[in-house]
Amino acid sequence: MRAVLWRGPGRLLLATVAAAAGFTTAGAQIRFTYSSGQTVSPAYEGWMPTPNGFAMYFGYMNTNWLQEFDVPIGPDNAIEPGGPDRGQPTHFYPRRSPFLFTVDVPKDIGTTELIWTLSTNGKTEKAYASLKTDYQIDNQVISTEVGGDFGSLRDELRTNIPPELRVEGPKHRSVRVGEPLTLIAFAGDPDNLPARRDGKLQPRNASGQMPGESAAPAAPRASPPSNPANLATLIYRPPSSIVPSSGPGLRFSWLVYRGKSSAVTFTPDQMKTWTDTRAYANSPWSPPYTIPVPPADGKWTTQATFAEAGTYTLRAVASDGSVFTYDNVTVSVGR
């Protein structure tokens, strides 16, 4: 049995291929999925030019479906040169989290590589980031890699404007264990691209206003089948497609970027930002799923409650289904 690794700009796929021996059909294959015990592979997604240099995009692939990791900044989670802390996460959700963060580098970086080293389950893996021309990306590439707009390749997505995002309040907060922290964020889609397929209205900016437009009632989510056996079969079946697909439409979520995710409870429950393709998984890549209609004023109110003391970084994620905008809030939790 051999492991086959495909790598390319914005793509990191891992499959395990079995030898044909023992099968009646030549070339038969077995695809294994794992709940735990596997590693996290850091991924370099590509680069874009910026006014002052270049932005290098990174993400990761956690080969496990259930096991999550907390890897502090240090020898086991470092980006060099200039690190070890270059803004990478320390909490790693299951499966694929693409285009999760960027590292800005100057115009004179030349052929210097950034190397992200990540050790999980006793194995060390590295991602090598450079300005090679094959790794130049644009917003259409990002959309394609995340299955945005149902996998559309239309040219308009090259000029897609990322959502506006504004988180109210200070960037650093303090609360006690068990004390709810209210988080208020405003998000809007300035160009309404890609537009919702149902034609329902969306806020266009993060001002908290949508002049001249009124909100449509939220579209109900599809209900899971009532038979528990059928539901279990759907939830735990293997993903039906190697490349996930997501519908267009403004959406917003909080995630734990640094800190112990199991110690944080969000109310209401947050739509997943990692590509969970299992059915009824509260994920925009999960069939069947309807992207909820956003609030008319673009205002999302969430409460975060912490079960353990420590320092946490919460990341706000606004997406139009194709590209993303991020903002962070650091929370010091005392007893």
Question: What is the biggest distance separating any 2 CA atoms in the chain, rounded to whole angstroms?
Answer: 67
Residue with structure tokens 């030898």?
19
pLDDT tens per residue, range 7-37: 444 444 433 333 333 333 444 556 678 999 9
Split at pLDDT 50, 70, 90, the class of 170 is very high
pLDDT of residue 321: 95
pLDDT of residue 208: 76
- The answer to whether residue 241 scores a pLDDT higher than 60 is no
CA neighbours within 13 Å on the CB side: how many for 128? Answer: 6
Cβ–Cβ < 8 Å for 160, 140: yes
DSSP letter (8 states) at residue 139: H
- Residue 281 identity (one-letter amino acid): A
Percentage of residues in the chain having pLDDT higher than 70: 81
pLDDT tens per residue, range 245-273: 999 999 999 999 999 999 999 999 999 99
pLDDT tens per residue, range 102-127: 999 999 999 999 999 999 999 999 99
Split at pLDDT 50, 70, 90, the class of 226 is very low
The pTM for the full model equals 0.82
- The answer to whether residue 236 scores a pLDDT higher than 50 is no
Long-range contacts of 295-298 (CB under 8 A, 24+ apart): 295/203, 295/215, 296/201, 296/203, 296/210, 296/213, 296/214, 296/215, 297/186, 297/203, 297/208, 297/209, 297/210, 298/186, 298/187, 298/188, 298/203, 298/205, 298/206, 298/207, 298/208, 298/210, 298/250
Whether the bond into 194 is cis, omega within 30 of 0: yes
CA neighbours within 13 Å on the CB side: how many for 149? Answer: 21
Phi, psi at 135, each rounded to 5°: -100, 5
Task: Report the Cα 199 to chain-centroid distance in Å.
Answer: 25
User: For residues 99 and 140, what is the distance between their CA atoms, to the nearest angstrom?
Assistant: 13
